[in-house]
Amino acid sequence: MSGAPEPVGTLDVALAHATRLLGTDPALAAEQAREILRAVPGHPGASLILGSAQRSAGDSTGAIATLEPLSRAHPEWAAAHYELSLALAAAGRGEPAVASLRRSLQLKPDLADAWRRLGDHLSAMGDAPGAEAAYAAHVKASTRDPRLLAPAAALCEGRIAVAEALLREHLKTHPTDVAAIRMLAEVAARLGRLHDAENLLARCLELAPGFAAARHNYALVLHRQGKSAAALGEIESLLTREPRNPGYRSLHAAVLARLGEYDRAIAAYEDLLADYPTQSRFWMSQGHALKTTGSQAASIAAYRRSIELEPSLGEAYWSLANLKTYRFSQAEVATMGAQLARGDLREEDRWSFHFALGKALEDEGRYPESFEHYSAGNRMRRAALPWDAAEATSLVRRSRTVFTRKFFEARTGSGSPARDPIFIVGLPRAGSTLVEQILASHPAVEGTMELPDLPGLVKELSGRTRRAEASRYPEVLAELSSDDLRALGERYLASTRIQRKTAAPIFIDKMPNNWPHIGLIHLILPNARIVDARRHPLSCCFSAFKQHFSRGQSYTYDLADLGRYYRDYVTLLSHFDAVLPDRVHRVIYERMVEDTEAEVRRLLEYCGLEFDPRCLRFYENERAVRTASSEQVRSPIYRESVEHWRNYEPWLGPLVAALGPVLDSYPAAPPI
């Protein structure tokens, strides 16, 4: 049948009355529906009202008992399947709820709210493309303004340029149309113009504060830009109104993890897994959070569960490899090889398997085969990520021109006088996590994570909203007054405050890629400490080449790019050593390994801290560590890694050539 039979006479009146009661008194609506069913047993309209009323009154079990037989009896009735999906979701049965939603939409594709709810479920389940398509269909189905039908259809069909042109034309004459503004923000987000999307959504919410879908988009855009504190406020305001919304809950868990609220994030993922127990990506996210807190056995169990549920999930295998201390069995190695032989494997899974197999074969001493897999994974990643080596070199050259000794002398006394931060800079895999763990073992110091706040300031100062635009940074710093510089320092301190969980007076910002911004750090926080963690260039660069980073670090997927980037880094740091003598303290990894106590004492003295023996027992520190070295720093110093690169020396020619004199002069720097 295509729908429920139409009631007549007094039955019609009774059904209409019960329907009206649904919104104000669901218990009374349920009683009215039961009265109808006593008079007309099995009446589909009354059964639908009863199930809806039971759900609204909080009786999801009763609602399911009413609606499941109704949907079986009327398999072509979209409303029955939709109501059943709501009851299943309320009962914490997210996966069956998705199946019911899909069935309702097969029968009635213009059910706007069903598309939105499907998007929420798919978002929670980690199916970003599916969620994006569902939300686009929601926009199309909910659009009633004929002028927005064409851009909504274009957005839904992925014709982004067409949608953008139509929406901009519409907004010229209707600048306060919040539906159009939200659609244009979606266009901007899909094009990677997150700052534009943020501004559009802020305007949308200024005009319509109760627009929940726009607020959800806003929270997501903030989170994707690293503005997690702001995102948390937005998503928690949504959860107060709809606490069981799966999309809100999933984003909430991710934001909590980004903010270092790992216990709350783990609890949030546990709550989601109760509703979606077979979702492999939830298990994987739970594994990430557990790993960070040092719960290695539990994290391994979570990763293995995600693999059981989705054997082709390469990222779960790489997550095990990325523990660094995990050793794959022969059966697991064979399974990964079999997955790579599949023709239908997703690209992101394929490169993850290559990196994981590289690690597994390295542990077995099968270095030629290991390097083949590392190379294959890196080639795939390099092809998928934009990287302009000349742009990085240009930034170094321009920074050396701007940041002269006279430039800094003219700005003496500028910036915030706060002494709170210790910045740890350098290259990934150079020992920065070890330095952080040593310092964070001091009672006066709090370790946080790789904070996005300074890069956020740099992005703002650059004036760039698109990659193709020229950057005004660092030259723009010459235009800032002493008050401007102080304000930037205070902004940094305010934005990082949410990451500080203890009363320790000093905190660590360990973002290796902040090395190009030492000049900015000195200007806005002249009393902050800056520590450069440096490791032998072949050891450091090849370790990065073996690492599949979750995001960023695009230069690490090619040996020549790595060598050039390391050379640029040494060049700029040498410049700062010359124009700001003794401003940056350098920790040479190999020296830290050979004479740990002497190097720790030097480090603490530079940071203005009394020696504390706990810093030598850093591996006993139970703090959360969110980097690839998280498990390694929970053990005494790992001496075996110092010369490990020699196992791969026959294949490192492009790296050696790109490093040039930097390699020969290490640990000193060549003349600049």
Where exactly are the structural domains of the chain?
A: 391-536+584-639
- Type of residue at 641: S
The pLDDT assigned to 252 comes to 95
Residue reference for tokens 């007549």: 8
Q: How is domain 391-536+584-639 classified at the CATH fold level?
A: Rossmann fold (3.40.50)
Q: Which two tokens stand for residue 33?
A: 């529906």
Strands (E) located in 329-368: none
Strand, coil or helix: 382: helix
Q: Is the dihedral of CA 89, 95, 101, 107 positive or negative?
A: negative
CA 399 to chain centre: 30
- Type of residue at 580: L
Average pLDDT of every residue of the chain? 90
The answer, yes or no, to whether the previous bond of 667 is cis (omega within 30 of 0) is yes
The pLDDT assigned to 629 comes to 45
The pLDDT assigned to 621 comes to 61
**Count of beta carbons in the 10 Å neighbourhood of residue 206:** 11
Q: Give the burial string for 123-146 (b: 16+ CB within 10 Å, else e).
A: bbbbbeebbbbbbbbbbbbbbeee
Q: For residue range 569-599, list pLDDT tens digits in order.
A: 999 999 999 999 999 999 999 999 999 999 9
User: Between the CA atoms of 438, 324, 315 and 548, what dihedral angle is there, to the nearest 10 degrees?
Assistant: 70
DSSP state of 509: E
Under 8 Å CB-to-CB from 38, ≥6 apart: which residues? none
Q: Comparing C-alpha atoms, which of 391, 395, 418 is closest to residue 505?
A: 418
Cα(95)–Cα(124) distance, integer angstroms: 11
Q: Are the beta carbons of 356 and 324 closer than 8 angstroms? A: no
- Type of residue at 86: L
The pLDDT assigned to 633 comes to 44
Q: Which two tokens stand for residue 9?
A: 């006479």
What are the helix and strand counts (H, E) for the chain?
34, 5
Cα(291)–Cα(284) distance, integer angstroms: 10
Q: Comparing C-alpha atoms, which of 104, 109, 98 is closest to residue 247?
A: 98
Q: Are the beta carbons of 436 and 518 closer than 8 angstroms? A: no
Cα(18)–Cα(168) distance, integer angstroms: 45
Q: Which two tokens stand for residue 461?
A: 């100062």
Q: How far apart are the first and last CA of the chain?
A: 81
Q: Helices 296-309 and 314-321, interaxial angle, to 10°?
A: 160
Positions in the chain short of pLDDT 70: 1-9, 465, 621-642
DSSP state of 192: T
Cα(6)–Cα(182) distance, integer angstroms: 39
The total number of residues written for the chain in this structure: 672
DSSP state of 530: E
The pLDDT assigned to 641 comes to 67
Cα(376)–Cα(357) distance, integer angstroms: 11
Under 8 Å CB-to-CB from 503, ≥6 apart: which residues? none
The pLDDT assigned to 654 comes to 97
Cα(85)–Cα(67) distance, integer angstroms: 9
Cα(127)–Cα(131) distance, integer angstroms: 6
- Type of residue at 491: R
